[in-house]
Every structure is written in structure tokens, then in C-alpha cells.
Amino acid sequence: MTGKKFYTEVEIQPCHWPTGYSKKNMFIGSCFTENVGTRMENLGFNTDINPFGILYNPVSVANAIEQMLDKKVYTESDLIEAGGLWHSFDHHGRFSAVNTGEALGKINSRMQDSAEYLTSTDFLFITFGTSWIYTHIATGKTVANCHKIAAREFQKLRLNVSQIVETITKAIERIFAVNSKLKIIFTVSPVRHWSDGVIENQRSKAALILAIDELLKGDFGKRMAYFPAYEIVMDELRDYRFYREDMIHLTEVAVDYIWEKFSEYYIDRKSRDTLRQVNKILLAKRHKPIHRNTPEFRKFVENTLRQIDRIESGNPHISLALEKRYFWEVLDEICNKMK
């Protein structure tokens, strides 16, 4: 029985142009995008995560890319009022607000920063969640979020493979034209859209997977790749213990497992070595001693600050300013208490 595997292992194609600390990384798509993007952000990578908020379908992803390329300035005519809040159909609810000025302020401020980032980023990570789209009947607009507006005001449709390919191709043609160094990595979210039922969820995911396959065979295939997050969860983690209580979203253990796979194949070796050092700093920050105002803890804090300096001096693209400020504040507190 020694060496016998009790699960099917997903083969991951090696990435010939991995990302790293010297690269810029933009993430667009479903909540799974945020899981990986936030992990990289916390580890000091240069990231821009979901400038429109969480997006689930390919039409909304393509729209976000094109609006950033156009540097669109949103106005009151782009908003709709519902439930006491003003919303944008292009954006997640995190951009909604009680008045138009506040909503537009959040939307346009983020747009300005991310539009510049997109044209200079090295990597664009796109995660599709579903091939189902909702079109607002009154405006004819495919929405990124229904914002709890009544279902009767929307028409629901599942995109087919050719529609997804056509929609995304138009967007990536434009971005490749202005960003010659860009590489795109696609994923399909392993989070299931259970409201449509198990069969429709599978059909939806299948359309996304087939569409990405067609995109990789296209003119820009050499500048794109596919990371099999969906397949890893379905095959290597095919057990409900890897899901939260809702039986839909992944546990931290599952996200950690996927992150390990992702970092092994899509982050360069030097950066992987560095992120392990950065992770030690993050763990040190979470350390809560029983007795803070002691010589031992002071030494621990001073050693951590020296480690931060070593990491930053050896990696000019990394900024651990927040961590450094935190430990300096802790050190000041200890010194004042020990006087």
C-alpha cells in the first residue's frame, strides 16, 4: 500500500512566464479571484483586485475591461435607485451608496486608478463564475449584479460557448493592442452556483471551460494560460469537508491547497522563497503574547523589524510599510511601559 494515491491528481501545465514580486497583477472576476488576489496582496505582491467588485459572468468581465480601456467617467445616468441605495449595474454592491455623489465618487476614483494599472500590468487573472447572465429589461443592459431588484425586471439567459468566446475576444484584442507585455491567465471558479440547480451549474461551468479552451487555441493563445482551479476542487478535493456550512463556498483549507498549487506553477522560484519570509512576518504580526511588556517580547519585535528591513533591501519591489509601522508602534509601547 506504500505510495498508493487515493485521489486523482490534476495535471497542471508548467507556466513558461510566471509572475513574481517584480510584476504587476490585476485580478478580475468571481470571489475566487479575490481569494487568490488578496493572498498575493497580503504577501506584498503588486496587485489590483476587482476594480468593479466581484463579477461573475463573461459579459460583465469584458465590459469592465472595455470601460477601463475607455477610461469611462460614470455619471448619474449610469446609476439606478433601489432599496434606498444608488447602484451601478456594472458594479458589485460595495460601490453602492445612499446618494449619487458618494456612489460616483467610489466608482470613478477606482476607475481612474485601475484604468492606468490595466494598460501597464504584466498579468491579468480572469476568473469566470457562471455563464448565466441577467439582462435588465427596461434598459437592455446585461448586469454584473441585480442589487436585489425584483427578478421580474430581468431576463435570464445562459451564454453558449461561441457567445463567450466572441465577447471575451473583443475585449482582449483591445487590451493586447495597448499592452504588448500582458499575459492572461484564466480560471473557472470552483464555487458552485447552486440556485440554478446541480445540472444547470454543470452546464454553465462546462460552457466556460470550453470557451476558455477555444480562446487558448486562438490568435493570442501563446499569451494566455489556464489554471485548473475548478478541476482541482472537483477531483483532488472531492469531499464536503472542504466546503463551508453552506456546502457551496470553500473552506480556508481548500483555498490554502489551491494557493499552494497556484504558487508552485505560476510564481517564480525566487518570489516563492521570498513569500515564505514575508509569511513569517505576517505570522509574527498575528502573534499575541500573554505578556507584551517584557524583554523577551521586545527582542522578538526588534528581530522582526530587522527581518522586514532585510526583505525590503533584497527586494525593491516589496513594501512592508504597514507591517513595519505596526511593529514600530508595538516597540514604542513596550519601551514606554518598561521605563
- Cα–Cα distance between 197 and 193 in angstroms, integer? 8
- Cα–Cα distance between 110 and 115 in angstroms, integer? 8
- How confident is the model at residue 103, as a pLDDT? 98
- Cα–Cα distance between 305 and 116 in angstroms, integer? 33
C-alpha grid cell for residue 51?
Answer: 476594480
Question: Can you list the alpha helix ranges (DSSP code H) found in the chain?
Answer: 31-42, 58-70, 100-120, 161-178, 198-217, 229-231, 252-266, 269-286, 295-314, 321-337
Could you list the pLDDT tens digit for every one of the 339 residues in the chain? 456 676 788 999 889 999 999 999 999 999 888 999 999 999 999 999 999 999 999 999 999 999 999 999 999 999 999 999 999 999 999 999 999 999 999 999 999 999 999 999 999 999 999 999 999 999 999 999 999 999 999 999 999 999 999 999 999 999 999 999 999 999 999 988 888 888 999 999 999 999 999 999 999 999 999 999 999 998 898 887 888 888 888 889 999 999 999 999 999 999 999 999 999 999 999 998 888 889 999 999 999 999 999 999 999 999 899 999 999 999 999 988 776
Instruction: Go through the domains of the chain in sequence order and give each one's CATH number.
Output: 24-267 (3.40.50.1110), 278-337 (no CATH)
- How confident is the model at residue 126, as a pLDDT? 98
Parallel, antiparallel, or unpaired for β 183-188 and 154-158? Answer: unpaired
- How confident is the model at residue 313, as a pLDDT? 93
- How confident is the model at residue 1, as a pLDDT? 45
State pTM to two decimals: 0.93
